[in-house]
Amino acid sequence: MEAKQLLKDFKLKNTNCREEVLELMLSNEHALSHSDIERQVDPAIDRVTVYRTLRTFLDKGLIHKVLDDGGATKYALCHDCSLGEHHHEHVHFKCNQCGQTTCLEDIKIPAVPLPKGFKTQEKNLLIQGTCGGCTNA
Q: What pLDDT does residue 87 have? A: 61
Pairwise CA distance, residues 91 & 102, whole Å: 9
pLDDT at position 64 is 86
Residue 77 φ/ψ, nearest 5 degrees: -65, 140
Helix residue ranges, H only, 27-129: 34-40, 47-60
3-state helix, strand, coil in the chain (%, to 5): 35, 20, 45
Residue-range domains of the chain with CATH: 3-135 (1.10.10.10)
Please say whether the beta carbons of 47 and 39 come within 8 A: no
What is the model's pLDDT at position 86?
62
d(CA 113, CA 110): 10
Please report, in tens digits, the pLDDT of each residue of the chain (137 residues total). Answer: 699 998 998 899 999 999 999 999 999 988 999 999 999 999 999 999 999 999 999 888 899 888 777 677 889 888 766 555 666 678 889 899 988 888 887 888 888 999 999 998 878 888 899 998 898 86
- Per-residue confidence (pLDDT) for residue 12, from 0 to 100: 93
User: Can you count the helices (H) and strands (E) in the chain?
Assistant: 5, 6
- DSSP H helices, 65-121, are none
The length of the chain is 137
Give the pLDDT score at 56. Answer: 95
